[in-house]
């Protein structure tokens, strides 16, 4: 595994884990089987003809896009395995790739520490409430033909929050054991260097680029970042983060004008 730090704005950074040499288990876990099954069913509904299945997937995708990008990014980090946790002699470090024109090496660990801890209480609380709500909606179904959508949505949200908490726990473990190796990435620098030069802020990092929060990427950069890193999935992650952070900045500006 290696980590990528992708600055979205002057105050917000996306962390993404790329899994290397993924081991295929002889017998997938129940969670893996259920996730694969759900993904296949969702794809069939999404690509099907117009009807209640397409309506559900269209509405579901809108809800998914509203899930915080921090949650999606933490979910990319695999749960901490017992093998890694128990092997005290395992000192293999994980690369953390970042654009040096935006992030200074000394800020890598603080950024990761913040990402690993700032939303844990939210994920834990919402996971519990999702689990509590599941038995309440379990007996209900809209019509016999249509699945109990509220139940499956709460099930998905509970699993999603658990995955985010597991990723955060793994990240905290790596930080506590000093198992992270900050590494300037030429690939990311090729994207960010022109942006920083254009902003006239080449000597400032993501923690202090400006007093007001400013976007560092545009929508078109999402595909470029995915291309230079060789990770197609990053295009979706970066575009989602871009939309959410841009909307957040706009809302903040509106509030300040009203004050």
For residue 43, what are the CA distances in angstroms to 12, 32, 144, 188? 31, 16, 22, 32
Of the two residues 130 and 98, the one the predictor is more confident about is 98
3-class DSSP state for residue 17?
Answer: strand
Helices 105-117 & 149-176, crossing angle to 10 degrees? 140
Distance between CA 221 and CA 216 in Å, rounded?
A: 10
Handedness of CA 196, 94, 67, 45 (dihedral sign): positive
With vertex at residue 82, the alpha carbon angle to CA 78 and CA 87, rounded to the nearest 5 degrees, is 115
Question: What is the reported pLDDT for 137?
Answer: 79
Across 5-19, 45-59, 128-142, least confident range: 45-59
pLDDT mean across residues, the chain: 80
Question: What is the reported pLDDT for 56?
Answer: 67
User: Taking the model in full, what pTM does it have?
Assistant: 0.79
Question: What is the reported pLDDT for 82?
Answer: 57
User: Half-sphere exposure of 195 toward its Cβ, with a 13 Å CA cutoff?
Assistant: 26
Distance between CA 132 and CA 108 in Å, rounded?
A: 37
Q: Residue 154: count other Cβ atoms within 10 Å of its Cβ.
A: 21
Q: Residue 172: count other Cβ atoms within 10 Å of its Cβ.
A: 16
| Confidence check: pLDDT of 259 > 80 | no
| Confidence check: pLDDT of 178 > 50 | yes
Per-residue pLDDT band for 136 (boundaries 50, 70, 90) equals confident
Question: What is the reported pLDDT for 172?
Answer: 94
Helices 233-258 & 221-229, crossing angle to 10 degrees? 140
Of the two residues 213 and 74, the one the predictor is more confident about is 74
Element holding 233 (H helix, E strand): helix 233-258
């Amino acid at each position: 595994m290696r980590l990528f730090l992708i600055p979205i704005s002057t105050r917000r950074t996306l962390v993404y884990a790329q899994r290397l040499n993924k081991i295929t288990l002889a017998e997938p876990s129940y969670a893996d089987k259920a996730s694969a099954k759900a993904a296949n069913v969702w794809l069939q509904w999404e690509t099907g003809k117009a009807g209640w299945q397409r309506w559900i997937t269209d509405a579901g995708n809108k809800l998914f896009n509203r899930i915080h990008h921090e949650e999606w990014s933490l979910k990319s980090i695999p749960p901490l395995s017992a093998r890694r946790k128990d092997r005290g002699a395992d000192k293999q470090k994980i690369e953390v790739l970042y654009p040096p024109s935006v992030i200074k090496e000394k800020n890598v660990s603080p950024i990761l520490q913040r990402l690993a801890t700032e939303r844990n209480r939210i994920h834990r609380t919402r996971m519990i409430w999702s689990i509590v709500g599941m038995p309440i909606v379990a007996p209900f179904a809209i019509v016999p033909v249509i699945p109990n959508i509220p139940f499956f949505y709460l099930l998905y949200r509970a699993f999603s929050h658990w995955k985010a908490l597991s990723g955060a726990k793994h990240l905290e473990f790596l930080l506590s054991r000093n198992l992270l190796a900050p590494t300037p990435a030429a690939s990311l620098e090729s994207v960010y260097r022109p942006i920083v030069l254009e902003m006239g802020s080449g000597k400032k990092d993501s923690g202090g680029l400006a007093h007001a929060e400013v976007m560092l990427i545009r929508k078109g950069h999402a595909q470029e970042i995915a291309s230079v890193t060789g990770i197609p999935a990053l295009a979706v992650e970066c575009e989602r983060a871009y939309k959410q952070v841009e909307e957040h900045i706009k809302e903040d500006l509106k509030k300040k004008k009203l004050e």
